[in-house]
Structure 1
């Protein structure tokens, strides 16, 4: 069991809650904003449409995060779970958008969400496909898949060109990493719990002093912006709905793995009904954000690392994160302010958070029953997951639907682990001579008399 500073239903003091919620927001914000930016750039959308997509994504992510944490009837897992736009949908969104534009993306997202909503009804059965060995593999793979993201941030970001890996970028990231480690190890109370946000704040101040922060986006951002549902319109191309449906299936596998990791981090037993509430929220939430004008949302794995690092598992903290995200969507100037945080600052904190997920996965793997069968499941599934993570071009010449399903290292590892767990036979344990020696003497006498 993990030692938690705050349990799932605890309510920390307001100032503490605000700081803790802010660090969850900082961990998730880059991912939420990145998806609309990537899709908008590829489709060559006007700047105002990209801004509208970002605002809708922030607002939608915030609202669904609140529902996921607090729960509304049968919807919501009621755990500290941050929701945001997912890269699992980027490939499908771009292919649909190139042919049918943004209305096709949003219509396909709305219609495809039915796949996840229906899938939530079968989560008790799906849960049986995730025994401890499979869950441990997925948790480990989540961390392994996220670490390269933190490395890119630390180096200055993928789009930094010639400045990628500059010593100044690596130095800032290292400074933030050391600061976070010091606060976690030696800090007391709030200084330990809020180590991520405090470390990033110190790193941000250093960057401001060095003149590395660009405030131009803050000056251009609107102070307030109301959402405009259905502003882009909607169309429902059959090919787009099928593509999004496949993406939702893949996301459901990833989300199940993330929920299992979340259960481990929060000391919560993940039952089928619990998973069903969470996946249902993913599906219903994606349908709602499509109407707001945002790409689909899913559970963010990186925030599990925040919980593992800080020991703060309060769902009320993360519900406040949802409020902050929603406000960032309504007040774009707030989101623009957060976007000014340099990538190396995010990288230093992210490396620590994501590595903690790997550590949690390794701890789970250490508790798996050691046998040739489980060894094969662990080795092959993690190997396949790493293969598509470090060499994504491996799938470039395969059909598009194969890339959709196996494009993520997390989904690949999960699918391979579940498949091997189903097809590899359980081998009965055979008694050895050593076992016979451990039998008490009176029992041996009875065995000999019976013979």
Structure 2
């Protein structure tokens, strides 16, 4: 082994932008790559949509036909909201989809065990284990194709480098079809059949050929004060989760840190999206899609154009229901296996910002450790409590108060963000070295849109609108 050189012992320098990209936010790839990667973004978002509809529709008394309509509506609004957010909002290549945060508020008083049985909190490996013979091969193949074949066996391959998700889903889906046709699940219990069979969703026969979602399609809304407060709590938690996802997207898209004014634009359009969702009765709000953030890292394509094409796929498959229903019938363990990898990439994006902090100080270790630990532990307590008792730790005569507390403290991102912010702004804040140790000096120039020339490149409004609305 050669001796260690002095320059090899120098710490890695901090980087404001992610360099391992083939196409960044402003550099679209060739059209074939654009269309294929865009379809993959639609595909991974479809799994979340199906899970949301699978949870909500039976509780509300609906069947396969209503489930198909809800899926179409969510897809249609997700496409519209994604186009609005990418074009006029944050301008980041982020897919906007349904948020699980709203489900608790929508079904409050319903026993939590009902949600647990359908897999609300079982996105990743627990969902894989529901049909291990389908889920595990999906996870293994995706890792082999995306992390090994594309770097070692077939370096630079378009199939494995850009289309690993699509190739994996096609292979395992065919395998699942063969198992279903061969009768491998005919004698299994109903839960296993629901997870493993490719013909158990009932969506293909129930979905209409052509249908246009429209406002008040389920009837006119009924307003209740306590329900409004409950949804406001869900919106607060969803907003925090979306903010973290958008920061991760900016990282994997090759952009700089998002200025506050750009976040304000995104929040404004997210509010409009929530109103549109409420009018059409999806009850899922709109949030930045975590799984699509992971796909940006996996494909190394952070182009804004890709996400716009993906939004068009959502709108097309929502209008022509039969075609979308075929894809929506993919067994959910396949999507769960994809999330094992995609969620991991999204979580890793947050670690990138720790490079600006001094991790050798006791203060930094304390704030990071307690916010991460309690951010996982407190929501777990709320979930276990509700699973056992059928209601949350907040159990008063006010249903609105119960939902507000239970929704907020059941969100790991929300709990961790609140704790980290409060501790960072109070613990030894007056010490002179803290301002540098906490890493905010690196982000000072992004506080204002005009302090960094790259903000115009990544976040400027289209059609010269930034000249007329300089504050945005």
TM-score band by shorter chain is 0.7 to 0.9
Shift in Å, 1:40: 2.0
8 Å contact 2:245–2:346 — kept in the other structure? no
User: Aligned to 2:375, which of 385, 391, 395?
Assistant: 385
Residue in 2 aligned with 1:227?
A: 213
8 Å contact 2:78–2:96 — kept in the other structure? yes
Residue in 2 aligned with 1:428?
A: 432
Shift in Å, 1:45: 3.1
User: Aligned to 1:265, which of 252, 257, 262?
Assistant: 252
Greater relative contact order (Cα 8 A, min sep 6): structure 1 or 2? Answer: 1
Which segments of 5 or more consecutive residues in structure 1 lack a partner in the other structure? 99-145, 157-163, 431-451
CA RMSD of aligned residues (A): 2.6
Shift in Å, 1:47: 4.5
Residue in 2 aligned with 1:178?
A: 144
Shift in Å, 1:367: 4.2
Please identify, of 411-420 and 222-231, the stretch whose mean Cα deviation from structure 2 is larger.
222-231
Residue in 1 aligned with 2:363?
A: 373
Question: What is the SS of the residue equivalent to 1:44?
Answer: coil
User: Aligned to 1:10, which of 19, 24, 27?
Assistant: 27
Residue in 1 aligned with 2:156?
A: 188
| Alignment size in residue pairs | 371
The superposition leaves residues 32-57 of structure 1 with CA deviations (integer Å, 9 ceiling, x where unpaired) of 23223312222223544433322211
Question: What is the SS of the residue equivalent to 2:46?
Answer: helix
Structure 1 segments, 4+ long, off by >6 Å, are none
8 Å contact 1:224–1:332 — kept in the other structure? yes
The superposition leaves residues 249-305 of structure 1 with CA deviations (integer Å, 9 ceiling, x where unpaired) of 222222222122222222322100111111111111111222223222111122111
Which segments of 5 or more consecutive residues in structure 2 lack a partner in the other structure? 1-17, 112-119, 181-196, 387-391, 396-401, 435-472
**Taking structure 1 as the reference length, what is the TM-score of the superposition?**
0.76
User: Aligned to 1:274, which of 245, 248, 262?
Assistant: 262
1:336 aligns to 2:340 (yes or no) = no
The superposition leaves residues 60-116 of structure 1 with CA deviations (integer Å, 9 ceiling, x where unpaired) of 111101111122xxxx11111111111111111113999xxxxxxxxxxxxxxxxxx
User: Aligned to 1:314, which of 303, 328, 339?
Assistant: 303
8 Å contact 2:371–2:417 — kept in the other structure? yes
Shift in Å, 1:365: 2.7
Residue in 2 aligned with 1:94?
A: 107
User: Aligned to 1:197, which of 166, 189, 192?
Assistant: 166
1:21/1:174 CA distance change after superposition, 3 Å: same
Shift in Å, 1:313: 0.5
Between Structure 1 and Structure 2, which shows a larger proportion of helix residues? 1
Q: Distance in 2 between matches of 1:304 and 1:259?
A: 8
Q: Distance in 2 between matches of 1:203 and 1:181?
A: 18
Residue in 2 aligned with 1:110?
A: none
8 Å contact 2:64–2:206 — kept in the other structure? no
Please identify, of 347-356 and 415-424, the stretch whose mean Cα deviation from structure 2 is larger.
347-356
Residue in 2 aligned with 1:154?
A: 128
**Taking structure 2 as the reference length, what is the TM-score of the superposition?**
0.73
Q: Distance in 2 between matches of 1:249 and 1:393?
A: 23
Residue in 2 aligned with 1:241?
A: 228
Question: What is the SS of the residue equivalent to 1:423?
Answer: coil
